[in-house]
Structure 1
Amino acid sequence: MASIRPMTALDLFHFNQTNLDHLTETYHIGFYLEYLSRWPHLCRVIEGHDGTIEGYILGKLEASPFPPPNPPYDPDTNPNPNYLPWHGHITALTVAPGARRLGHATKLTESLERQSDAHDAWFVDLFVRAENSVAQELYRKMGYSVYRRVVGYYNDDSDAFDMRKPLSRDKDRKHVRENGENINVEPSEVW
């Protein structure tokens, strides 16, 4: 039986099984350490019964910068459509090929959603490769929808879908939209 636990710095030396997939973005060690130091409550691993890391999630809570002394905006008062209010973000989520189809991705995502909701975030978002239909279907089943297509987002010039799931604060669902696949933006427009 696998279990979710907080990620530690030592786990970074045991990610090889999870990072071998061609759709997994792998980062330098400083990137992982920054997340562990700034958002430790949003970084989790799922550990197999034998102690191997079968998957992990890196997340953060953030908002677009705003000029002082203005408070973070209410969605009804900010005219910039690309300005992001307080939200949870899934930076990385991956499961080792041998541990897929066991519900690990769902459990890790739900743990980040609960933390984001507890911190009064409007929604949780993530970026997924436009060609990664398996991941898109997983997220759709969990209540995510495509908000916009980011053209040339990845280093290899592939497009990304910005997918979002509203949380309890967004009672009127102001941060999701229909047909987001058809709303194209440049990476420079995404904060």
Structure 2
Amino acid sequence: MATIRPMRPADLLKISSTNLDHLTETYNIGFYLEYLTKWPDLCRVIEGHDGKIEGYSKVEASPFPPPVTPYSPDTNPDPNYLPWHGHITALTIAPSARRLGHATRLSEALEQSADANNAWFVDLFVRASNEIAKELYRKMGYSVYRCVVDYYNDGEDALDMRKPLSRDKNKKHVRENGENFKVRPEDVW
């Protein structure tokens, strides 16, 4: 049985086998290491019984203070401001370990961590063409908040999908028909 555990620096040398499809965004080791040192409790791997890394996820949090303090979704003057939240920067599963529930388990573990840290929501970006991932996240309670036009290097749009957490009781950080709300990459951090 596979186990979710905190990511360790040495794991960064073992994750390349999980990045074998064209829909997985990959980054250099320095990128992952920076996040691992900033938010070690929000970086996880799924380790198989054989010790191989079968999947990983990395989360980040809001880097900027609110435009109005204290922050409230009702008085926020900037529609693109991101309040305290969890952001799934990378979540991928090795092709040999797919369809085992690993992505759901990793997401749920990160949602629980963000919720325990009083975040408003968890969000992630997914390629507009990635129907499998969009359906997976919808089943887990995520919805499209907005479309980021030309987000990826190849010009494809990203969908910013969000799942409200317990702090957002009135669901002020999600919206209906988010696919129709278009923003540019410079409008998001």
Q: CA deviation at 1:64?
A: 3.5
- In structure 2, C-alpha distance between the alignment counterparts of 1:145 and 1:38, rounded to whole Å: 28
Matched, 1:58 2:92: no
Q: 2:122 aligns with which of 121, 124, 128?
A: 124
The corresponding residue for 2:31 is 31
Cα deviation, residue 80, structure 1: 1.3
Query: Which range moved further: 117-126 or 8-17?
Result: 8-17
Counterpart residue number, 2:83: 85
Could you tell me which residue of structure 2 aligns to residue 144 of structure 1? 142
Name 1:158's counterpart in structure 2.
156
Give the secondary structure class of the aligned counterpart of 1:148.
strand
Q: Which residue of 2 aligns with 1:44?
A: 44
- Residue 21 of structure 1: how far off its partner (Å): 1.3
Aligned length: 189
Contact 2:66–2:81 under 8 Å retained in 1? no
Which residue identity does 1:3 align to in structure 2?
T
Q: 1:101 aligns with which of 99, 102, 114?
A: 99
Question: Does the CA-based 8 Å contact 2:164-2:171 persist in structure 1?
Answer: yes
Q: Is the 8 A contact 1:63 1:87 kept in 2?
A: no
TM-score by length of structure 2 reads 0.97
1:30 deviation in Å? 0.8
1:17 to 2:31 alignment: no
CA offset at residue 62 of structure 1?
1.5
The verdict on how the C-alpha distance between 1:34 and 1:140 changes in structure 2, with shifts beyond 3 A counting, is same
In the superposition, the TM-score normalised over structure 1's length comes to 0.96
Residue 138 of structure 2: SS of its match in structure 1?
helix
CA distance in 1, matches of 2:70, 2:99: 39
Q: Which runs of 5+ in 1 are unaligned?
A: none
In 2, the alpha carbon distance for the partners of 1:76 and 1:63 equals: 21
Pick closer, same or farther for the CA change 1:72–1:101 going to 2, 3 Å: farther
AA of the residue aligned to 2:36: L
Task: Evaluate the alpha carbon distance shift between residue 17 and residue 171 of structure 1 in structure 2; reply closer, same or farther with a 3 A threshold.
Answer: same
Query: Quick one: which of 102, 110, 113 aligns to 1:112?
Result: 110
Deviations 1:86-126 (A, max 9, x none): 10000000000110000000000001100000010000000
Q: After superposition, what is the alpha-carbon deviation per residue over 1:18-70, rounded to whole angstroms, capped at 9, x for unaligned?
A: 01111111111110100110010010000111000000000012153446xx5
SS of the residue corresponding to residue 30 of structure 2 reads helix
CA distance in 1, matches of 2:146, 2:63: 18
The separation in 2 between residues aligned to 1:135 and 1:84, in whole angstroms, is 23
Cα RMSD over matched residues?
Answer: 1.1
